């Protein structure tokens, strides 16, 4: 499921002729992530290690992952939208076993400096870690 979604996203981003257009598309996607989510914007969901303020809540329903997230910056909200489209509804076990570098896989890593890439990687790592813990808990259950 992840590989197909990633391929679909890669194809969509590949239709843009230059990096400016891809970057603008990420900004457009940010409109789908509300910047004002008081129930989410609490310290317990704040991700450390990001240049921007990012709040991320991972949840599981029926053995699948569901993300709620927001940020104080447009471009990161666009990335969070992509992560939601990629991961929402995917079985926890599939996410737990994934080793994706989403920015590189989508060909948009070059839009971000090293610090921002590191922050986005830490968000992805937090998602995968959550899923691994959930799967381990189910197995021990």
Calculate the alpha carbon distances from 21 to 24, 37, 66, 78, 141 in Å: 5, 28, 29, 13, 48
**CA 88 – CA 81 distance, rounded (Å):** 10
Check which CATH number belongs to the domain holding 117 and give it: 3.90.1010.10
Q: Domain of 134?
A: 2-140
For residue 141, the model assigns a pLDDT of 59
Q: Are 55 and 45 in contact (CB under 8 A)?
A: yes
Q: Domain count of the chain? A: 1
pLDDT digit of tens for each residue in the chain (141 aa)?
999 999 999 999 888 888 888 889 999 999 999 999 999 999 999 998 778 999 999 999 999 999 999 999 999 999 999 999 999 999 999 999 998 888 888 888 887 888 888 888 899 999 999 999 999 988 775
CB 68 within 8 A of CB 19: no
Cα separation, 19 vs 5, in Å, equals 21
pLDDT at 92: 97
């Amino acid at each position: 499921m992840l590989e197909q979604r990633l391929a679909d996203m890669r194809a969509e981003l590949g239709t843009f002729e230059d990096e400016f257009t891809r970057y603008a598309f990420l900004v457009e996607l940010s409109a789908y992530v509300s910047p004002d989510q008081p129930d989410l914007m609490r310290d317990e969901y704040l991700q450390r290690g990001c240049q921007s303020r990012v709040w991320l809540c991972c949840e599981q329903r029926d053995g699948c992952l569901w993300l709620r997230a927001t940020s104080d910056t447009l471009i990161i909200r666009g990335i969070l939208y992509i992560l939601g489209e990629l991961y929402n509804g995917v079985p926890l076990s599939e996410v737990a076993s994934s080793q994706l570098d989403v920015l590189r896989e989508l060909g948009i890593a070059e839009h971000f400096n090293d610090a921002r890439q590191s922050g986005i990687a830490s968000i992805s790592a937090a998602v995968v870690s959550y899923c691994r813990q959930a799967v381990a808990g189910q197995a021990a259950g």
